[in-house]
Structure 1
Amino acid sequence: MTTRQDTPRDTLRLNVQGMDCGGCERNVETALNRLPQVEQVSASSMNGTVSVTGHALDHDTLSQTLAKLGYPVVDASPKASSSPPWWRTPKGQLVVFSGALLLVAGLLTMSFPEVGSWPFVVATLVGWVPIGQAAWRALRMGNPLTIEMLMSIAALGALTIGAAAEAAVVVFLFAVGELLEGVAAGQARRRIAALANLAPATARLLEGDAIRDVPADTLTPGQRVLVRPGDRVPCDGRIVSGTSHLDESPINGESVPRQRAANDNVWAGTVNLDAALELEVTRGAADNTIARIIHLVEEAQAAKAPVARFIDRFARWYMPLVVGVALLVAVVPPWLTDLAWSESVYRALALLLIACPCALVISTPAAIAAGLSTAARRGLLIKGGAVLEQLGKLKRVAVDKTGTLTAGAPSVTDVEGWDEPSEQEVVRLAAALEQDSSHPMAVAIVEHAERSGVPLGRASEGQAQVGQGVSGRFEGRELTLMSPRQWQGGQAQTARIAALEAQGKTVVLLLDGERALGMLALRDEPREDTPAAIDALNRLGISVVMLSGDNARTVSAMGEQLGIEAEGELMPEDKAQRVRDWQAQGLGPVGKVGDGINDAPALAAADVGIAMGGGTDVALETADAALLKNRVMGVAELVGLSRATLRNVKTNVVLALGFKAIFLVSTLLGVTGMWVAVMADTGATVLVTLNAMRLLGYRFR
C-alpha cells in the first residue's frame, strides 16, 4: 500500500482572480489546508497567486476548491494592459448599483415618509447578496469567521433592530472598501506585470543574408538577431559585431548608458542607442534576465516576512476574541444596567465592524511587496520578505576584494620617467610593447595610453620572456618591459619601487637595452563608488571588513586605503568560518558580499548573502540578494530600503491599531455608530495601503 509519505512531494503555483486582501488570503489558506493532500499553502493577494505544497497534488481539485470560494484559477498572471477600469469590474458595478439604490432610498423616505424603512431594507439586501454568498462559500469550506460573515451578521442584525438606513450605508461602504482594496492590489500587481512588457514582442532574426521578424519568445540559444538603434534588445545575448551605448536602466536602474562592444553580454529589455548590433542569443525567453527578475520578485513577495507571519497568527485568534467580546457587549449591559437591549445589540454589531482586521492584515504584505518591487526596479534583487526584513538589522558586512570592492582588473596608478623620458613617453613606449598582448596588465597599459591621448605605435619582433616580461624593437630601440626582481638599480629607485609595492601595487620597469627609462605601477583599484559605499554603511551603523584570498600585503594596503579592517590569504572555508565566528560572538547579524565560487560558502553561512550581479551563477544562486548594477553602493541601498520598509510596516500597524482603538472606545460608549465603524475600517485599510505604496517612490540617498 502506498502511503502519503511514499508519494512525491509537489509544489504548484496557481494564478487566481479576485483575491485582493488579507481576508481573501486567509479564506484560501483555510479552505486548501483542509484538503488531505495539502501540507502547506501560501496565498499572496499582492501577486494574485497561491502556492500549494503537498503530496500527489491534483490541479483540478485545487482549482475547483478555489472556484467555489469565488477565486477562479486563470492560466497566467494578468498583464498590466489587460486589467479593465474599475467601473467595469464586478466590484465596481456593485458599488455603483448599491450607491444608486442608497440614493433612491434616501430620496423616497424624504419625499414619502409613509413608506417607512422599506427602501433601505431593499438597498441593504441587494447590496448584501454578494457579501452573503462569499460568507456562505467560506463557511462551507470550514472558515466561519470571515470579514464577510461579520458584515452579514452586522447588516442583518441592524435590519432586525430597525436600523435599516445604517445597514444600507454599511453595505455600501463595505463595497467601496472592497473596491479600493482591489484597485490598490491591482496597482501593485501591475508594477510587476509591467516588467514583462520591457522585452519587445518581436525580434529581427538573421538567417544567412536574410532578416525576418519572429516572436521574441521563440528565440533559442545560438540564433542571431539584429538590434537596430532605438530598438529594445529582445533577448539575453552576446554581441557578435558592433559597438553601441545601451540604456540599461530598465533592468538595473543605472541612469548612465554603458558602451558595449563585441563579446560583451547584454540583457533583454535594454535599449540600443547608437548603432546596429548583431547578437547571439544566449538564453531563451523563459530564462532571460527579465523572466528571472519577475520570478524572483514574485517568489519573494509570496514568501512572508517574520513580522507578516506574526500578524497572520495574531489575526487568527483575534477574530474569535472579537466575536466573543461583541457577544458580551450585546448581552451583559442590559443585565447589569438599564441599557436597552436594542442599544446593546447595536453597539455589539458596530463593534464587530470596527474590529475587522483587514487594515492590520494588509499592513505588512503591502509594504513588503512595494519594497521588493522598488528594489527590483533599481537592480536590487531580494529573495523574500524575510531577507528584506533581515537586511535592515545587519551590524557587520564582510566583503570580497577582487571584483567586489575593486573592478576586478588592474589599472595604471603611477608612471615615472627616469633621466630624460617624460611620463607620457614612458607610457607611449610601454603601450607599443603591449599592443598585441591580451594579458590584463598589458590591456591596462594600453587603455591608460588611450585615455591619456598618447599616440599608439606597435613594436616589432615582440617576444614574451617567461617570468621576466616582454621585449621588442620600436623606433630603433631594444625595449623591455619587466619585473624589477632581476634588476639592480640605484638606491633611490629601489626604495621607490619598494614603497609602491608596499602599497599593494605591481611595478614594471621599462628598459632600453640595459638602461632603465622609467617604471609603471598597476593595481586593481577600488570601484569609483567603493569609498562612498563604505562611508554610507558606516553611517548606517554597519562595520565593513574585507576578507580576501589575495596576498596579505596587498589586502592590508587596500584596507588601509579604504579605512576598513582587512584580512588576506583566506581560503573559501576560512571566509565562512570568520562569518560563523562573528555570529557566535554576537557581532551579527552578518552580511557577506561576493562575486565568485570561492565566496559561495561564506554567502551561505551569512545571515544575508549578497552577490554582485556580474558574479558567477553559483554566487547568485547561493545568495539571498543580488546587485545587478555591480556597485558596492547597492549594499547600503538595500539596507536603507529595508529600514524604510520596516518603518513603513510599523507606521501601518500603528495606524491600523490606532484607528481601531479610537473607534472601539467611541463605539462602546455609544458615541459613534455602525456606518462610522465601517468608514473607520475601510479608511484604515485604504490608508495603510496608500502608505505602503509610498515605497514605490522611495529615493535612494
Structure 2
Amino acid sequence: MGNRHVYRLQGLSCVNCAAKFEQNVKAIATVKEAHVNFGAAKLTVIGEASIGELEKAGAFDGIRLIPEHAQTQLSAPKFWQTRATVLALISACFLMVGYAASLWMKESEWLAVGAFALAIAVGGYDLLRVGLLNLWHFRFDMKTLMTIAIIGAAFIGEWKEGAVVVLLFAISEALERYAMDRSRRSIQYLIDAAPKKAMVRKGNQEYEVDVDELEIDDIMIVKPGQKIAADGIVVHGASAVNEATITGESMPVYKSVNDEVYAGTINEEGALEVKVTKKRSESMLAKMIDLVEEAQAERAPAQQLVDRFARYYTPLIMLIAFIVAVMPPLLFEESWEAWVYRGLAVLVVGCPCALVISTPVAIVTAIGHAARRGILIKGGIYLEEMGKIAAIAFDKTGTLTKGTPEVAAIRLFSNHVTEEEWLQIAAAIEKYSQHPIASAIVRKAQERGVVFTERQVTNFYSITGKGASASVDGITYYIGSPALFSEYLLSKEVHATIQQLQQAGNTVVVLGSEHQLLGVAAVSDQVREYAADTIQELCKEKIKQLTVVTGDHRVTAEYVGRSIGLTEIQAELLPEDKLRVMKEMREKYGRVAMIGDGVNDAPALAAANVGVAMGTGGTDVALETADIVLMGDDLRQLPYVIRLSRKALRMIKENIVLALSLKLLALILIVPGWLTLWMAIFADMGATFIVLFNSMRLMRI
C-alpha cells in the first residue's frame, strides 16, 4: 500500500497514552487510518502526515517518531535525564521546601502553601493539562481521576497532600515507562542485530553501501567477525556462522558454497562471498521482527477481558467516590471536609493503571524473551493456549527425525535392471518431487555418479500420501510406499524383504511398473538429537498424551517411537487422516498442539489449538502456517515454551488478583479514614510496581 507509513516511537509511556495518541493521529485530516502497537512502540499510518504533525499529536506524552527502517536512530535519554524525571526532581525540591516551611516557619503559612502549589504545578503539569482536557471532553481515564483528586485536595486546603500525590504519581509514571522499555528490549536486540552497512564487490572494486541499497544478486564481502547484512547464498569461501539471532542456538554452524545465510548472523572465522537473495525488508530477520511486533500487539483473551472490565471500572470508581464524598454529610450530618477528602482518596486508589497494564506487560515480556531464544510466538492468544495444552501430536519426518534421510540399501526384484538403472529411473521421477525421501534418492544418484537427467520424463503426477508416477522414456512407472502397488505384485519374498527393512527403522520406497516390481530402496532418517530427552521433559510437564502422527509405514514409525519413548503411534496417514486424528484428540483431551515441519502438515497444524512448526526446514512456509515457530529446529525448546506459557498465564492471573485485591483493601481502609490521600497513591503505585516486576520475572525462565 503506497500511503502506508510505519514509525518507531520513543517516549510512549502507558496504554491509555497509546490509545489517546492513536485518536489524535486519526483526527489529522490527511490520515485515513492509524494504529498504535503499545507493546512494540510502533505507529502505523494510512494516509499522509508529516513527522511534525504526528509528533504534535503525541506532544502531550513527549512522543518522538522515526521511520521504521531509517538508518539513524533516536538517542534515548538516560532514565534520570528524561523530562518526566527532571520535573519530578524539581517537584520533590519544592515539596521539601514546603515541608521545611510548614515545620519551622508556621507563622508564614503562605510560603508552605506556595511551595506545595509549585510542586503540584511543576510535577503535575503534564498530568493536569491532559486531565483537564479529558474533563472538557468528558473522557474518563486514570489521569482524569488524578486531576480531580489533586484539584479537590487543593480546594479543601490539603496542598501538602496534593503535592505528595503529584510527586508519587510522577515517580510511578517514570518507573512504569522504564519497566516497559526494559520489556521491549528483546525487540531492540533483534533490530540492532542487523548491520547498517555492507561491503559489496562490483567488478574488481569493493564499495561500502547502505543495506537498503543492496540489490538481489549483489555479491557481499563478509570478513571474519562481521555481521552478514542480508539473506543470501554463499558463492565462495567457508566459515562457521553464529546464527543465535535467528535460531537462539549459540553454537556456530559451518557454511560453505551453496549454503544459505541470514541477515544479522555473525561470520566467525573465514571470509565469505555471499550473493544477495532477498532485500532487507524481506529478510528472515525482518520477518521475525515484524511477526514478534504483531504478536505483541495481539490482545490475548485475558487482556480483552481486562479491557472490557476497565471500560466500566473507571465510571464505577467515580460513582463510588461521589457516594463516599456526598452521602455521609447529607444523610448523617458528617463533616463535609473529612468525607470529601475520603472521596478524593477513593479516586486516587481507584486509578486503573495496575489493572490495565497487568496483562500486556506479561505478554510483551514473554513473547520478546522467547524471540531472543529463536522461538516466534505469533500472539498472546497462542501464548495462553500453549499454557493450557493437554496433548501433543508429532509429525515424524522433519520433526522427530532430522528430515534429511539417506538411501541405506537397494534391493532388486528383477534380473533386467541394475542398481544404477534403478537409481536412474527413480531419480528421474523424484527430481520433480519436494518430499525429503525423494531428495534422498536424487542425492544418492548424484553421489554414485548416475546420470539421470538425460532420461525423458513426462506426465509426472504426485499421488498424495503414497508417492508419484511418471512416464520415463515412454514407460509408466510408479514410485512410493508399498500401498501404491496391487497385492499380486507384492509376493511373499517382496513382503519379507520390505518387513525386514522396515523393522530396522527404514522407510521403504518401491519402484515398479503396472506389471512388475523393479526393486526397493531402504531410506533411513536419523532421530533428532535430544528428542528422547524432550519427551521425558514433556512427561514431567504432565502432558496427558504424546502421539506420533505420520504418513510413514507403521513398522518404521513404531521403531522411531520406541527409540524416543513414545508408544502411541498413528501411522500410514494421509493428510485428511491427520486432520481427523487432530479432531479426535481435541474431542478427547480439549486443547491439543501439533508439531510439524510447516510444509506438508498445514491441515493438521490449522486444526490444532496451537500449531508449532520447525523453522529451518521450510522457514517461509513455517512462518506463514504455524502459530509458534522453533527457528532452530530444537525440540528442547518445546518444554520451555510450555513452561513460559504456563508461567505467563499464572503471572497474568496473579497480576489481576493483586491489582484488584490491593485496591479493594485500600478502599475498605479509606471508609474509616485510615488511608490518607498520599497513602492511597502509594498503594496504587505499589500495585503498579508489583504487577510490572512480577511480569519481569518471566525473563528468568
TM-score w.r.t. the length of structure 2 is: 0.80
Query: Which residue of structure 2 aligns with residue 394 of structure 1?
Result: 389
| In the alignment, structure 1 residue 114 sits paired with structure 2 residue 107 | yes
How far 1:318 sits from its partner (Å)?
A: 0.5
How far 1:411 sits from its partner (Å)?
A: 5.6
Q: Give per-residue Cα distances to partners, 1:207-257, cap 9 Å, x unaligned.
A: 233222222232222111121111111111111122221111222211222
Query: Which residue of structure 1 aligns with residue 601 of structure 2?
Result: 599
- Is the 2:507–2:556 Cα contact (8 Å) retained in structure 1? no
Paired residue secondary structure (2:107): helix
Query: Which residue of structure 1 aligns with residue 570 of structure 2?
Result: 567
Paired residue secondary structure (1:653): helix
Name whichever of 62-71 and 233-242 sits farther off: 62-71
- Is the 2:37–2:43 Cα contact (8 Å) retained in structure 1? yes
Q: Give per-residue Cα distances to partners, 1:602-623, cap 9 Å, x unaligned.
A: 2222211111112333343121
- Is the 2:376–2:628 Cα contact (8 Å) retained in structure 1? yes
| In the alignment, structure 1 residue 662 sits paired with structure 2 residue 665 | yes
Name whichever of 101-110 and 372-381 sits farther off: 101-110
1:373 aligns with one of 349, 358, 368: 368
Q: Give per-residue Cα distances to partners, 1:572-615, cap 9 Å, x unaligned.
A: 232223223333x2423122222253211222222111111123
Change (3 A) 1:64 1:226: closer
Q: Give per-residue Cα distances to partners, 1:324-357, cap 9 Å, x unaligned.
A: 0011101122234453111111111011101111
> 2: distance between equivalents of 1:647 and 1:380?
20
Query: Which residue of structure 1 aligns with residue 192 of structure 2?
Result: 197
| In the alignment, structure 1 residue 635 sits paired with structure 2 residue 638 | yes
Paired residue secondary structure (2:249): coil
Paired residue secondary structure (2:67): coil
Q: How does 1:418-437 map to 2 (within 5 A)?
A: none
- Is the 1:45–1:185 Cα contact (8 Å) retained in structure 2? no
Query: Which residue of structure 2 aligns with residue 615 of structure 1?
Result: 617
> 2: distance between equivalents of 1:696 and 1:675?
33
Query: Which residue of structure 2 aligns with residue 298 of structure 1?
Result: 293
Paired residue secondary structure (2:226): coil
Q: How does 1:269-668 map to 2 (within 5 A)?
A: 269-337=264-332, 339-410=334-405, 440=440, 499-505=500-506, 523-542=524-543, 543-562=545-564, 563-583=566-586, 585-616=587-618, 617-668=620-671
- Is the 1:600–1:619 Cα contact (8 Å) retained in structure 2? no
Change (3 A) 1:247 1:396: same
Name whichever of 496-505 and 222-231 sits farther off: 496-505
Q: Give per-residue Cα distances to partners, 1:241-299, cap 9 Å, x unaligned.
A: 22221111222211222212221111111111221111111111111122111111111
Letter paired with 1:122: L
How far 1:25 sits from its partner (Å)?
A: 3.6
How far 1:143 sits from its partner (Å)?
A: 5.0
Query: Which residue of structure 1 aligns with residue 484 of structure 2?
Result: none
Letter paired with 1:200: P
Query: Which residue of structure 2 aligns with residue 234 of structure 1?
Result: 229
> 1: distance between equivalents of 2:676 and 2:73?
40
Change (3 A) 1:266 1:39: same
- Is the 2:31–2:48 Cα contact (8 Å) retained in structure 1? no
How far 1:301 sits from its partner (Å)?
A: 0.6
| In the alignment, structure 1 residue 210 sits paired with structure 2 residue 205 | yes
> 2: distance between equivalents of 1:105 and 1:461?
93
Letter paired with 1:186: D
Change (3 A) 1:128 1:632: closer
How far 1:569 sits from its partner (Å)?
A: 2.7
Name whichever of 211-220 and 560-569 sits farther off: 560-569
> 2: distance between equivalents of 1:205 and 1:553?
53
Q: How does 1:59-74 map to 2 (within 5 A)?
A: 59=49, 63=54, 66-67=57-58, 70=61, 72=63, 74=65
Letter paired with 1:239: V
- Is the 2:225–2:268 Cα contact (8 Å) retained in structure 1? yes
Q: Give per-residue Cα distances to partners, 1:93-123, cap 9 Å, x unaligned.
A: 2111111111122222333212214232333
Name whichever of 72-81 and 618-627 sits farther off: 72-81
Change (3 A) 1:34 1:70: same
Letter paired with 2:247: N
Name whichever of 271-280 and 629-638 sits farther off: 629-638
- Is the 2:506–2:524 Cα contact (8 Å) retained in structure 1? yes
> 1: distance between equivalents of 2:630 and 2:361?
23
Query: Which residue of structure 1 aligns with residue 128 of structure 2?
Result: 132
Letter paired with 2:525: D
How far 1:626 sits from its partner (Å)?
A: 0.8
Change (3 A) 1:72 1:41: same
> 2: distance between equivalents of 1:336 and 1:662?
25
TM-score w.r.t. the length of structure 1 is: 0.80
> 2: distance between equivalents of 1:645 and 1:39?
36
How far 1:506 sits from its partner (Å)?
A: 6.0
- Is the 1:14–1:50 Cα contact (8 Å) retained in structure 2? yes
> 1: distance between equivalents of 2:288 and 2:452?
48
2:83 aligns with one of 62, 73, 90: 90
- Is the 1:66–1:73 Cα contact (8 Å) retained in structure 2? no
Paired residue secondary structure (1:597): coil
Query: Which residue of structure 1 aligns with residue 428 of structure 2?
Result: none
> 2: distance between equivalents of 1:575 and 1:497?
24
Paired residue secondary structure (2:368): helix
Paired residue secondary structure (1:570): coil
How far 1:303 sits from its partner (Å)?
A: 0.8
Paired residue secondary structure (2:589): coil
Paired residue secondary structure (2:217): coil
How far 1:556 sits from its partner (Å)?
A: 3.3
Structure 1 unpaired stretches of 5+ = 1-7, 415-436, 448-458, 467-490, 509-519
- Is the 1:229–1:274 Cα contact (8 Å) retained in structure 2? yes
How far 1:444 sits from its partner (Å)?
A: 8.4
Query: Which residue of structure 2 aligns with residue 480 of structure 1?
Result: none
- Is the 1:98–1:126 Cα contact (8 Å) retained in structure 2? yes
| In the alignment, structure 1 residue 678 sits paired with structure 2 residue 678 | no
- Is the 2:615–2:622 Cα contact (8 Å) retained in structure 1? no
How far 1:311 sits from its partner (Å)?
A: 0.6
Cα RMSD of the aligned pairs, angstroms, is 3.7
| In the alignment, structure 1 residue 690 sits paired with structure 2 residue 693 | yes
- Is the 2:374–2:631 Cα contact (8 Å) retained in structure 1? yes
Letter paired with 2:679: V
Q: How does 1:236-251 map to 2 (within 5 A)?
A: 236-251=231-246
Structure 2 unpaired stretches of 5+ = 410-430, 432-437, 456-491, 510-520
> 1: distance between equivalents of 2:97 and 2:444?
80
Paired residue secondary structure (1:232): coil
> 2: distance between equivalents of 1:287 and 1:613?
16
Query: Which residue of structure 1 aligns with residue 40 of structure 2?
Result: 47
Paired residue secondary structure (1:546): strand
> 1: distance between equivalents of 2:439 and 2:614?
24
- Is the 2:445–2:451 Cα contact (8 Å) retained in structure 1? no
Q: Give per-residue Cα distances to partners, 1:629-673, cap 9 Å, x unaligned.
A: 112223222212111111221222232223222222222221120
Query: Which residue of structure 1 aligns with residue 263 of structure 2?
Result: 268
How far 1:302 sits from its partner (Å)?
A: 0.7
- Is the 1:31–1:65 Cα contact (8 Å) retained in structure 2? no
Letter paired with 1:123: A
Change (3 A) 1:575 1:73: farther
Q: Give per-residue Cα distances to partners, 1:30-82, cap 9 Å, x unaligned.
A: 66789999999764433223557xxx866579948944755656233698872
Paired residue secondary structure (1:556): helix
- What is the number of equivalent residue pairs in this alignment? 621
Name whichever of 114-123 and 301-310 sits farther off: 114-123
Q: Give per-residue Cα distances to partners, 1:419-452, cap 9 Å, x unaligned.
A: xxxxxxxxxxxxxxxxxx99737978999xxxxx
